[in-house]
Structure 1
Amino acid sequence: MRLAVIADIHGNLDALEAVLQDLRTLMIDRLYINGDVVNRGPDSVACMERVLTLSGDLGLDAEFTLGNHDDLMLLWHEQSPLLPSEWLSDPFWGATAWSAGQLHAADLLAPIRRWPMSLRPDLVGLPQVVIAHGSPQHYREAIGLFTTPERGAELLSAQGAGVLVASHIHRPMLREQEGDWLINTGAVGAPFDGDPRARYLLLEGVEGVWTPSIRAVPYDRAGVLGRFETSGLLARGGLSARIFLEEIRSARSLYTPFWDWTAERGLGKDDAAWAIFRREHPDLFLPV
């Protein structure tokens, strides 16, 4: 039994296509897409269309979980009261508004509404696998190298799982815990560990035992980086779009550190603050 779990595509069609090409060589039995198909990159519509029509290509349909950025597209389109009202008028959220508008115009928000928070594949003769974007308790709970063994054991036990698969933080991890596995798939479209290759999880089940591995797939980033401009995202998305572009270029997390830094300083998320942030944190950026 071979399972593939891909996640955090984030509107990067070139990375997605590279992963799909790699999957064709593996003859997988099931494919799971663990949230955040959309937003950040310029190709949210194309990525949604692609993952919804895989059966004609890979010969099997994907199953999905809901990621926080997928859900954000719904909340933004509905101008949900669950979002802080000031976000809806803040230019910093221009990239999110652009992506949500593109998905609405293409009538691609409806499928997202059907995606569950977690999946429990029924795989007879193998330890239970549980798949969730963050954790089964919340799609924003981060699971990674910083997760304590105690928290990992608690999550595995609560789910009755032999394998718990998370994503969300864009950094891959394989951790064995007393015969069980706590895993992060890493990101297809926007890795944050300095390695720009698209990452995903392969799980191979043989004789009642799962063996996980992280696949790393190189691809040419010139196309997706160029489409930030040609798609209109860079012009309409403003500062957040420029940050998302820089994250793909550098394979490093910038958006969240900038967010946290402005909160600590009591600053707005604007170009002036971004310039100061860049000067104070040159280690986060590649040479221009």
Structure 2
Amino acid sequence: MPSTRASSTHLVLIPSYNPGEKVDETVRGAREQWNPVWVVVDGSTDGSAARLVKMAETDPGLRVIVLPDNRGKGSAILAGLDEAAKLGFTHVLTMDSDGQHPAALIRTFMETSMAAPEAMILGRPRFDASAPQLRVQGRRISNGWANLETLWMGIGDSLYGFRVYPVAPLAAVMRSQMFMRRFDFDPEAVVRLCWRGVRPINLDAPVRYFRPEEGGVSHFHYGRDNALLTWMHARLLIGFLIRLPLLIARRLKTR
């Protein structure tokens, strides 16, 4: 049964691009746990936008924002952030539309955020046998760089997109530069928010990778996206070196 009590501060924000039929299950699962739930359809061409709009017609706790063309995950989230800010929401929980993230933990993450509204609540993935080992091992590289770039402020995982963000600092970070608009959104968001002093809180959360015959859809491209991450970490490393005295002072102050 969909959650009916609407929060005025926290919402679930789901960016979605050609997710296949898994998005229907994802949205239903999210609505069972929380109200409101927003989906930002990022120029999908697989018919999912029409299905979601139809779902929203009979569910006042669901809102669907349809972007006319594919702009990337970060851009879709920014569109949702801007609209959320206009309506007075202070926090968003982001989750993928493909069923990999645990809707059952939405309430736990939201309650943790409400108890520490100044923090960002980061999912720390727990992989099962479905996880491609190349991606599991590869993310350790990105995590290592992210921890270095923040002087080990406590980022448990830089790539897992099941998170609760404070709206105002995240929107400010994104508006301050032109990056973070595609696959580079998740790791760059946590690094830059750490630089702004937003404290990370890590909570364990399972992640499941679905095979194509199970309806799984992946838009990850090893060459293109790893090149994007490499360029991102190069930029962040320069930013880290510029901020190093401030970061050291902050770390010494919190000891």
Shorter-chain TM-score bucket reads: 0.3 to 0.5
Per the normalisation by structure 1, the TM-score is: 0.33
Structure with a larger share of its residues in helix: 2
Per the normalisation by structure 2, the TM-score is: 0.36
